[in-house]
Every structure is written in structure tokens, then in C-alpha cells.
A and B are shown apart, each in its own frame.
Chain A
Amino acid sequence: MDVAAQFTQCLEALASEPIDRLVVDLSGLDFIESCGLGGLVSAFVRCRRRNSQLRLVAPRPPIYDILRLTRLSEILPISDCVDSALRESD
């Protein structure tokens, strides 16, 4: 299985758990493509259906640029750090 598929499977499984919030720390990520973005969107949709939140943390500039270009930064909340992501609300 490719990395994006593993990433998606992992996020979907977590988003299906009975949780209030799913925080995805992107600070160590240096590359993402459309399949990886699809994993984030899929997890976001699952969280929304379960009335939980998905928050992204500290994407590096190249990753943020992709989120902005695809306008996903408008629907996926982004926090500066994990602590903030655990406190902040949508």
C-alpha cells in the first residue's frame, strides 16, 4: 500500500472513533499530494458527520501553500501548535 493510502486509512480509522477532536500535526510533513489531501478531507467529513472536529497543526510553508491553493485552508482549521489545537474551537 502506498504512503497516501496508509495515511488515509489511518486518519479514517481515527475519525471513526468516538472522539471530540482529531488533531493532525503536520509540522514534520515536507510533501503532500492530492491523495494525501484526500485523506485529510475524508477524515474531516467523517468528523463532521460525528459532530467532532478535525484540526491541523503547523503545516510548513510548502504544505500550507497547497492547502491555500486548493482552498482546503478555508474548511480545515489550522492551529499553530498542538496545545492550541487541543484548546481552540471551530
Chain B
Amino acid sequence: MKELVVKNDLVSAKRPEELILAEVEECGYCESAAFAIKLALEEAMTNAVRHGNGNDPNKRIFVRYHVTADRTEIEIRDEGNGFQVETVPDPTEPENIDRPNGRGIMLMRAYLDEVDYQPPGNRVRLVKLNR
């Protein structure tokens, strides 16, 4: 696994995405798989910056990743207190549908093969298969 540590801001949080997507392209992933990985990285890194680390510029985000021709695995950890993913409301329910926030985790789950939040909820493991 390759490892990166980035500052807790949305500009720095783009760097892992650039590096991982460059490897994904080198490995010849199909367009839909590359789109899914980009979407998941945007969601997970934004969550880490804003919700996990609470926009605190003194905190960092730790990223580990491994890209092969068949599979991309990414682990993202922030320095926050974590959360219980089961408590996040379903954004597709009628009472939540017109809320502006809360669709990131649902999208990651829809587009990836595995999304695992590990206790205490400040670390997420993402897997996308290239098929």
C-alpha cells in the first residue's frame, strides 16, 4: 500500500485523488470504474476535511492505497472522533429528499464494491473492482 498524509483542506485533499486516478488510468480501467473511484474519493475526502476533522487546519488526513489492473483499494483516516454510520439518515426517504446534505455515503455505497467504516468511524476502506 502506498501512503500519503495531507493537510486538512479541500485543495490538499485533491492530491490523493490526482495520484490514484493517474494510476487507475495507467491500469486501463473502464470509464465507469474510474468515474466511481473519482466520485468516492471526492465524497470521502470532503467528509474527512469537513465532518471528520471539522475543517481544523491543524489536523491531517492519512491515505493508503493500492491500485492493480483488477482492483483499487483505498483507506482514508481522519483525526476526528468518528461517528456511527448507521445513524446517518437515508437521503432517499421522502422526509430527507429535499435536504441539501447527506448523500455522500449513499453514493459511495452505490458506486463501489465495498465501503467499510471501521470503529470509531474515522477510517473508511473503499474497494472498486475493474470489470
Q: A39 an interface residue at 8 Å Cβ cutoff?
A: yes
Cβ-defined contact, B100 with A33, below 8 A:
no
Closest chain B residue, CB of each to CB of A70: B103
Mask: chain A, 31-57; 1 = CB below 8 Å from B; 0 = not = 101110111011011000000000000
Q: Which of B66-104 contact A (CB under 8 A)?
A: 91-92, 97-104
B12 to chain A, nearest CB (A): 12
Cβ-defined partner of A37 (8 Å) among B35, B103, B110: B103
User: A45 CA to B110 CA in the complex, in Å?
Assistant: 25
Contact of B106 among A38, A70, A74 (CB under 8 A): A70
Report B20 CB to chain A, min CB distance, Å. Answer: 15
User: A44 contacts which of B32, B35, B98, B101 (Cβ < 8 Å)?
Assistant: B98
B98 engages A70 (CB within 8 Å):
no
Looking across the interface, which residue of chain B has its beta carbon closest to that of A66? B107
* Minimum Cβ distance to chain B for residue A48 (Å): 8
Residue B56 CB within 8 A of the other chain: no
Residues of A within 8 A of B (CB): 2, 8, 31, 33-35, 37-39, 41-42, 44-45, 62, 66, 69-72, 74-75
30 residue pairs bridging A and B, Cβ less than 8 Å apart: A8-B100, A31-B38, A31-B39, A33-B39, A33-B42, A33-B107, A34-B43, A34-B101, A34-B102, A37-B103, A38-B100, A38-B103, A41-B98, A41-B100, A42-B100, A45-B98, A45-B100, A62-B32, A62-B35, A66-B107, A69-B106, A69-B107, A70-B91, A70-B106, A70-B107, A71-B92, A71-B97, A74-B97, A75-B97, A75-B98
